[in-house]
Chains A and B, each alone.
Chain A
Amino acid sequence: MDRLKGKNTIITGAAGGQGKVACRMFAAEGARVFASDIVADAAAEIEALAPGAITYLAADVTRPEGIRAIVDGATRAFGGRIDVLYNNHGVILGKPFLETTPEEWDRVHNVDLKSVYFLSQRAVPAMPAGSSIINISSVGGLLAMQNMSAYSAAKGGVAMLTRGMALDLSPRKIRVNAIAPGAIDTPMPHNFLKDLPDKEGIWNAIEERHMMRRFGQPHEVVTMAIFLASDESSFMTGSVVAVDGGWSAF
């Protein structure tokens, strides 16, 4: 239970379904966690996931002042050193190509792609050799799906950004990898489908796209993040790894 012993870790999107599991599991492996999300009053709930090991700060990653607050707050809390940056935050958008508005494009790109770039950029000076950045792409960043063109552009962007970051940061010996999850059973897909007429049919259809015929559970993505955060993945950088029950191999 100490695969991340002593690793000072920033986890964004900490108040979501994926984020809470990440905070709990990273802390259980010995990490010290600086957690952030846009949710204003989540501190008590998030910090209770691992008392003493997690500090929560509400901030907006799409704003420069939010990025400053997260990185500077974490750097201070950790005495100057950040070992792991887990860019777990993200929003989804399902809209036909002909209906997406410029505002909707901007929102999904600002949250899912641009903030990953600039949050990471600000964090790097505090990250020593051997540290690790983990980004979240998506199976939708590898393959096209109906009504997901703007989201795919952003998540595909994260995959390529990850590779570019890996190259530019390799002289500093900072590793950068991305996970491309399949459909994961968190509040996000439930909210995404809730107003659709045939949500059960769509849920089943999504299940069928996975070789494993099921949604993934959050812990199944977090185990990969822990592996990428740990020294066991010391020769991995620039990779985009599918944790998708076989969806993208099919």
Chain B
Amino acid sequence: MPGLLEGKVAMITGAASGIGRATALAAAREGAKVLVVDAVPAGEDTVKLIKQAGGQAAFHKCDVTRAAEVEATVAAAVKLFGRLDCAHNNAGIIGKSLHTADDTEENFDRIIAVDLKGVWLCMKYEILQMLKQHARGAIVNTASAAGLVGSHGQPAYTAAKHGVIGLTKVAALEYARHDIRVNSVCPGVIDTAMVAEMVTGHPRLRDRLISVEPIRRMGKPEEIGEAVVWLMSDHASFVTGASLPVDGAMTAQ
């Protein structure tokens, strides 16, 4: 029985851990050949997990804030697997938690560079490759509930994630006629290392994060991965420019 991404080549950034790893595993399970992309070598562990489960994957190291590295990453996908059909632009940092008036230029610039400019750079080179192929392409960007609403102590992160939704809509509009779909997924609070780091030393923060979820629990990375894989698949053939909240009703209220 063919999987949702049978025969497709997918690149996933930030795939050494968390949501990116979950997407990579789900994509491989659904038949995709996966390029695991991350700035840290733990991406090799994601590749191992995929191969153990019988899938195909390779790792490529990349800092998404550097255009040359992103260009080389897309080239690597083509060299290894022959083409690029889908991408999950998921690499992201939350940075330091600082209020608007306390934030530093360094913190602000770094978050914008990874979370916003990095998404644009990845889309740029992915789209250039997809246009060469004259076939269907599907891109999913990881935005956030903080791309829809404000997030206390996260001015740059919120701005970047709102911006990711904007970038998603523009790219969707510009390339709809070329059969390239672009959507974003908006996770709520997800049980990942990034969130664990954020709540370290702030015991009440973890409880507060869960209490804003009407369903009273954090989401699992796999629950985002499934949504991303679905959006990358041909089942989402009429979905473009959309922002999919996967957030346990957090932004419904």
Contacts and interface: CB of A to CB of B under 8 A. Distances in A.
Interface of A: 1, 162-163, 166-167, 170, 173, 182, 211-213, 216-217, 220-221, 223-224, 226-227, 232-239, 241-246, 248-250
A234 B223 contact: yes
B245 A238 contact: yes
B249 A237 contact: yes
Q: Which of A182, A223, A236, A242 neighbours the largest number of chain B CB atoms within 10 Å of its CB?
A: A236
Interface stretch (B59-67, B89-97, B99-107, B212-220): B212-220
24 contacts: A1-B1, A163-B252, A163-B253, A167-B252, A170-B216, A212-B177, A221-B238, A223-B236, A224-B236, A233-B227, A234-B223, A235-B219, A235-B247, A236-B227, A236-B247, A238-B214, A238-B248, A238-B252, A238-B253, A239-B249, A242-B239, A242-B242, A244-B239, A249-B173
A239 B226 CA distance: 16
Contacts of B251: 238-239
B249 to A, nearest CB: 3
A161 to B, nearest CB: 11
Contacts, number: 126
A245 B240 contact: yes
B75 interface: no
B253 A167 contact: yes
B244 A239 contact: yes
A220 B245 contact: no
Closest 9 CB pairs of A and B: A249-B241, A238-B252, A238-B249, A220-B238, A235-B223, A211-B176, A163-B252, A246-B241, A223-B235
Contacts of B227: 227, 232-233, 236
A163 B250 CA distance: 10
Contacts of B230: 227, 232
A239 B245 contact: yes
A211 B169 CA distance: 10
Contact of B238 (A162, A233, A245, A249): A245
A182 B241 CA distance: 12
Contacts of A244: 238-239, 242
A241 B224 CA distance: 15
B188 interface: yes
B173 A211 contact: yes
B156 to A, nearest CB: 24
A217 B235 CA distance: 11
Interface string B201-216: 0000000000000111
B237 A220 contact: yes
Given A1-B1, A170-B216, A220-B237, A235 B188 contact: yes
B249 A213 contact: no
A26 to B, nearest CB: 14
B246 interface: yes
B247 A249 contact: no
A241 B241 contact: no
A242 B245 CA distance: 11
B122 interface: no
Interface string B163-203: 00000110011001100000000001000000000000000
A139 to B, nearest CB: 11
B215 A216 contact: no
Nearest to A222: B235
Contact of B240 (A1, A170, A212): A212
Given A211-B241, A221-B238, A243-B238, A236 B252 contact: no
Contacts of A170: 214-216, 248-249
Nearest to B170: A249
A248 B241 CA distance: 8
B173 A163 contact: no
A167 B220 CA distance: 20
A211 B181 CA distance: 10
A63 B245 CA distance: 34
